[in-house]
Structure 1
Amino acid sequence: MNTYNNNNNNKRKPYHSAGGGGGGGYRQQQEQQDKTEYQKRKEENEEIEKETLEIIESSFGFVQPGIRKQMVDDKELYKPFTMISYPTSNQAKREKKEKKRIEKLKQKKIGSKEKRDIGFYDIPFENCVYDQYLPLHQLWTQYMDDVIGNNDGPIMAMKVVKADFHGAIIQVTRSKSPTLVGQKGIVVQETENTFKIITKENKLNIIPKGQCEFYMEVNGKSVTIFGQHICYRGAERAAKKFKGRQTIEL
């Protein structure tokens, strides 16, 4: 019995001692390798994080640590982005002014001389029909009713002189040129020094203002206008202050 036990002990002790010593050395070696690899990965991660933070600082300026960490964790740094720079107020004004200047150059206007050369102000012969302009005269009559109202006397005369004459029926009563006396028609165009009228004979006549005296009826009242008083453009005449004159020489 004792012999058997001793033999078993002798057999098992070398096994345990050999097995235990070999297993412990392997585990220690494995743990040391794991620690070494963990340390290497930690150092590599710290190095990558450091480089990433440097890039963030150089790209975005100061960023709060919490936001920086979130950007690194979410890998926002490696997503494409566009840096937007808002212009200052003066720069925006200059850009707006330059844009308007370029648009103005593109929309080049035609001068008065070019308009005359291409016949912009000419009235075609087929449009010289008296009856065609009667609705224009009716509109002018309504316009004069609103302008004059219930005024009479000098106030009425002043308002008539400053009014627009397009559509008015005028007649030349006196003139330096005898051939102009008696001509009557609807005013279809007014310039600074002339009237263009359509007569009942469907003719377009040009009447100089400064050489004539004109007669017209406004609200059932007769009005005489000296051409020298109205030798202005319509817009200029509306803002001008006229002075009374005792005599007007033709």
Structure 2
Amino acid sequence: MAKTSGTVDAVKEYLTDLVVPHHRCNVNIIPDHITMLHGTKSKKQLSRKRRAHKSNTLTRKQYAELGLNTLPRKQLRYEQMLPLHKLWRGYIREHLELEEGDEVPQLHEKRYDEFSKQLVKMDFHGAKLRVLQSKCQTLVGLNGICVMDTKNVLKLLGEDHVVRTVPKSECVFGLNVGNMEFTIFGQHLTMRPAERSVKKIKNYVEPFM
């Protein structure tokens, strides 16, 4: 903030008044030693800044209109996703703390509940999934590598190099990890991966095999 003569005089007068009267004649205030600090921003200034910041971000509608949350249906190659699947296999073993020879915990075992919740929380990008059951019979038997995991759907890239959209809530999915086979109910996956990974699951998770 620029210093004006009026401001400096006001500061000098204020500081002088703080001194005992009979010593005020000895007070020597040097204007160059006075530093004026900016005051806090008003609510109006902060509100204007927030509006400016908000205007620079895309809304979900704009995001969708630009096609930023879609994948080309026939331009991806299955072989290109195999390295992603390999990374996912390492991730899932670490996420579930699996070792060679481990078996899926049974329903009556103590660790079943926590194990099933961690399974539902995992990220499925790179997982090889297949549709075991569905309200739409044409989806049953579809399989492929998951290339997109959104709130309501999974997009699977099949060996025929075609990306297919599968609704989560209407399907039951199967996947294999080593010698273990899992059955996952899609209704437990109906949220974005980032939200699902931190959500506390309080409801009973249906059995898997």
TM-score normalised by the chain length of structure 2: 0.70
1:3 is matched with none
Gaps in structure 2 of 5+ consecutive residues: 1-7, 17-22, 106-111
Q: Distance in 1 between the 2:10 and 2:138 partners? A: 91
Assess if the C-alpha contact under 8 Å between 1:157 and 1:223 holds in 2.
no
- Equivalent position amino acid for 1:102 in 2: K
Q: Distance in 2 between the 1:115 and 1:213 partners? A: 29
Residue 148 of structure 1 pairs with residue 108 of structure 2: no
- Range moving further from structure 2, 188-197 or 102-111: 102-111
Report deviation, 1:178. Answer: 1.9
- Equivalent position amino acid for 1:186 in 2: I
Secondary structure of 1:171's aligned partner: strand
Secondary structure of 1:149's aligned partner: coil
Q: Which has the higher contact order (CA 8 A, sep 6+)?
A: 2
Q: 1:60 to 1:209 in 2, by over 3 A?
A: closer
2:57 is matched with 109
Assess if the C-alpha contact under 8 Å between 2:75 and 2:161 holds in 1.
no
Q: Distance in 2 between the 1:96 and 1:224 partners? A: 53
Deviation string 1:164-217 (CA, Å, 9 cap, x unpaired) is 111110001222222111111011111222111111100010011122111101
Q: Distance in 2 between the 1:59 and 1:159 partners? A: 64
Q: Distance in 1 between the 2:86 and 2:138 partners? A: 29
Assess if the C-alpha contact under 8 Å between 2:129 and 2:143 holds in 1.
yes
Gaps in structure 1 of 5+ consecutive residues: 1-55
Assess if the C-alpha contact under 8 Å between 1:136 and 1:167 holds in 2.
yes
Alpha-carbon RMSD? 3.3
Secondary structure of 1:206's aligned partner: strand
Q: Distance in 1 between the 2:125 and 2:96 partners? A: 16
TM-score normalised by the chain length of structure 1: 0.60
Assess if the C-alpha contact under 8 Å between 2:131 and 2:174 holds in 1.
yes
1:162-201 equivalent positions in 2, closer than 5 A: 162-201=121-160
Q: 1:141 to 1:83 in 2, by over 3 A?
A: same
Secondary structure of 1:223's aligned partner: strand
Assess if the C-alpha contact under 8 Å between 2:146 and 2:156 holds in 1.
yes
2:161 is matched with 202
1:48 is matched with none
Q: 1:245 to 1:58 in 2, by over 3 A?
A: closer
1:222 is matched with 181
Residue 129 of structure 1 pairs with residue 90 of structure 2: no
1:98 is matched with 45
Q: 1:60 to 1:200 in 2, by over 3 A?
A: same
Q: 1:113 to 1:227 in 2, by over 3 A?
A: same
Choose between structure 1 and 2: higher helix proportion: 1
Question: In structure 1, which of residues 158, 178, 183 is the aligned counterpart of residue 117 of structure 2?
Answer: 158
Secondary structure of 2:154's aligned partner: strand
Report deviation, 1:218. Answer: 1.9
Q: Distance in 2 between the 1:59 and 1:173 partners? A: 79
Residue 243 of structure 1 pairs with residue 204 of structure 2: yes
Q: Percent identity?
A: 29
Q: 1:82 to 1:189 in 2, by over 3 A?
A: same
